Amino acid sequence: MAMIEAGVPMERVAAMIERERNHYVQRNPKSKQLAEEASVNWHHGVPMHWMLDWSTPFPLFVADATGAKLTDVDGHNYDDFCLGDTGSMFGHSPTPVAAAIAEQARHGLTYMLPTEDVIAVGRLRPPPRMPTGSSSAGAAASPSATRFWSSTAATMDLATTPSSASKTARQFIGPA
């Protein structure tokens, strides 16, 4: 007896999924090739596991993006409703942001010291009530969180992983 869900035979659903996967593979040969090449050095061909969360057999590889539009390496154009973290704020490659990054790139991008720009940006913010800082991940994240919490009266629970960042965090806090 055929399995039925919501009034639809599941074999029809399986056939539709197979048909759509085959169509996807046929429409995106360059993305497929790039995914195969990338899988030599990346798990399933992607640098971030969440890039595999879609039901496609491999991810689309992007060639270009501007505003809320992107073009894949196979030449298909899309309205991008995902937009990623920074794309969702400003769109992909907005001209003023791209120009500012290009200008700054001539002066350096990743030094670990402030520039005079920190004063102008600071004037745009309300005065801090406590020491502030910014770090997203890696070796700087745990010590930054530790310094922030140790400057307050709050009790701190810090999740650590076996990395240099957590070793640094334990130096600030003590054993878990």
Per-residue pLDDT of the chain in tens (176 residues, 90 and over written 9):
678 888 899 999 999 999 999 999 999 999 999 999 999 998 888 888 888 888 899 999 999 988 888 899 999 999 887 766 666 677 888 888 889 889 989 988 887 788 888 888 888 887 765 555 555 555 555 565 665 555 554 444 444 444 444 444 444 444 44
Say what angle helices 10-27 and 29-38 make with each other, to 10 degrees: 90
Number of domains forming the structure of the chain? 2
Q: Kindly state the tokens that stand for 174.
A: 């003590």
Q: Is residue 90 part of a domain?
A: yes
Q: Is residue 142 part of a domain?
A: no
Pair (75, 51) in one structural domain: no
Pair (80, 116) in one structural domain: yes
Q: Is residue 172 part of a domain?
A: no
Pair (54, 74) in one structural domain: no
Cα within 13 Å of Cα(47), Cβ side:
1
> In b/e form, how buried is each residue of 125-153, taking b as 16+ CB within 10 angstroms?
eeeeeeeeeeeeeeeebbbbbbebbeeee
Pair (65, 120) in one structural domain: yes
Q: Kindly state the tokens that stand for 9.
A: 């035979």
What residue numbers bound the domain in which 91 lies? Answer: 61-125
Element (H, E) at 71: strand 69-72
Pair (51, 11) in one structural domain: yes
Question: What pTM does this model have?
Answer: 0.58
Pair (72, 89) in one structural domain: yes
Among 34, 58, 82, the domain boundary falls at: 58
Among 102, 125, 148, the domain boundary falls at: 125
Polymer length of the chain: 176
